[in-house]
A and B are shown apart, each in its own frame.
Chain A
């Protein structure tokens, strides 16, 4: 009973109140989060089966004085069991595979030459230790990204020096920003709000401070914003 008193303290270990990645604010991010939840559900099924069997085996078949002289029967195999544990995981994997493959295929970042996408194009340039965003009328801003809601935002990512990684956890997964190679990444239907963006590939001494602010605004406001001269 005493041990149960420890339980609340163990709960304290769960320090994260909100995992933003699991509650994304764009349809791209929602698809990704769906994959995480879906695979988690399947894994929990497997985990429960394994843990229940494990506990049962450990308790039921543990060594006791009574069994000291006991020599178990020699078992060669059991076709029924073996087929079960071969086929069931295969089915689980097949179920998991369909959405995973579909979303992977849709969302993977592409080389610039292969992509043809309509939407709001923004050039993203990363360098040690700063982000530069260039909008379509060549308005250029550092470390602040303003995008319109409910649009396909097409990011053209390139780096001036080492590898960085473009990540807005509340909107979608990360994509590397690589020197001498332009990558295209599309984030669809962002919701209005203010988010944090950061570099997600260790890139040198100030890596931790290589962050930027993201603001998703209405289309009108975005057009207004473009007209203002960059400062």
Chain B
């Protein structure tokens, strides 16, 4: 849609206009109902809170809101792909590339991860008998960094400059040579900011679990969700740090003329290594807490202790460890050579073996009630 403002004509895609209109109307309705039901103090309370359950709630709430946004993106993708040579609304070419980029990035970084962090925030202190996390203020900082990153990423769309480089942001497409626009900068900075928050929260969880367990809550008695959280926090610590390094280098490539990921001296494959050393453990950052949830729920409702508790803990630790040794399976087509590919095929086959063992142990637990 072409708008003319102050004599200048400005092109704005109709989906961006629709999003603005929708946001303004919804924002108005929300604002009115806040005043009508006098909820302002509640919001003010949540904005300043350092309470782990309130922060956990905020994590889950905003994780869910971002999940809806990413879900709508998925619907756009599917509508465009419903039939061959389709022309659905504006979602062709650049718009389509933007929509699958935001869908992937939001689902991983701003929906799945925060929802699990929220659950950890709420449940871990309760499970180990702590009053709060070790550093409540840092916890709030972590959440608000995540919130800022998520908002920044969403604002990119409202300014019609959403990134279009895929959720993996592969160089050299993501360098300033090929995507000079601000879209890719939004990708870099919003991930950097929210990733920092995630690292803070991981540190916080580690210290909490190590230092603040109630008397008698030994490591050997900890619920499996807490164990999974501990290992996940270590994974986050390493994986998100590596991602942060990758994003830093990309930022330098984009803004300060360095050539880490392109040119005769740089190599785009470096980016892939950094990204997947983060990316594969990320899978387990999302999966391990879920396994912990299964274990705790099943053992509670079957009124039995966890079957093979030491083996379960050991396999969580091993899965966490192994998840750092398989990243090249995302790069089998990159030409790292037959030896590298074969070695990583072996380590990769190892991993589901561990997983399978853990699962089977879990199943045997149902044998009750």
* B75 CB contacts on chain A under 8 angstroms: none
Specify which chain B residues have a CB less than 8 angstroms from the CB of A175 in the assembled complex.
333, 335
Q: Which residue of A lies closest to B97 (CB)?
A: A205
Q: Which of B143-151, B204-212, B222-230, B262-270 contacts A (4 or more CB under 8 A)?
A: B262-270
Given contacts A53-B363, A72-B369, A161-B178, contact A109 B304 (CB under 8 A): no
**Interface segment out of the listed B54-62, B186-194, B285-293, B341-349:** B341-349
Contacts of B172 in A (CB 8 A): 161-163, 179
Is the Cβ of B338 less than 8 Å from the Cβ of A110?
Answer: yes
Contacts A57-B363, A163-B172, A183-B335 given; does A63 touch B357 at CB 8 Å: no
Number of B residues with CB within 8 Å of any CB on chain A? 50
Q: Give the complex CA separation of A206 and B269 in angstroms.
A: 22
B353 contacts A90, CB within 8 Å? yes
Which residues of chain A come closer than 8 Å to B96, judged between CB atoms? Answer: 208
Residue numbers in B under 8 Å from A85 (CB-CB):
357, 360-361
Interface residue count on the A side (C-beta < 8 Å):
59
For the residues of B in contact with A, the DSSP-based class is: loop
- What mask results when residues 72 to 101 of chain A are scored 1 for a CB within 8 Å of chain B, else 0? 101101100110011001100100110011
Instruction: Given A105-B342, A108-B338, A205-B93, verify A77-B308 contact (CB < 8 Å).
Output: yes
Say yes or no: A74 contacts B333, CB within 8 Å: no
A interface residues with partner B (beta carbon < 8 Å):
46, 50, 53-54, 57-58, 61-63, 67, 70-72, 74-75, 77-78, 81-82, 85-86, 89-90, 93, 96-97, 100-101, 104-111, 114, 128, 161-163, 165, 173-176, 178-181, 183, 201-208
Q: Contacts A85-B357, A100-B345, A105-B342 given; 4 further ones with Cβ under 8 A?
A: A85-B360, A89-B357, A97-B346, A109-B333
Which B residues fall within an 8 A CB radius of A?
Answer: 93-94, 96-97, 164-166, 170, 172-173, 178, 262-264, 267-269, 301-305, 307-308, 311, 332-339, 341-342, 345-346, 349, 353, 356-357, 359-361, 363-364, 366-369
